[in-house]
Amino acid sequence: MPKLGFGVFQITKEDCERCVLDAIKVGYRHIDTAQSYFNEEEVENAISKCGLKRFVYHNESMD
């Protein structure tokens, strides 16, 4: 598991996908998100578009 992750807390839905793609481009391989951030779909879209085959996606559920 990567030691450093990119957190998406307080990133707006409008900016989230681009920010995650930028983070992946510069080398991040761990994206930290949570259901309460309300930007999970945008994170998922970025991960799907990035072209990497292996990725660590950490999602903390509020359950």
Catalytic residues: 37
The whole-angstrom separation of Cα 43 and Cα 17 is 6
From the number of C-beta atoms within 10 Å of its C-beta (0-12, 13-18, 19+), residue 46 rates as buried
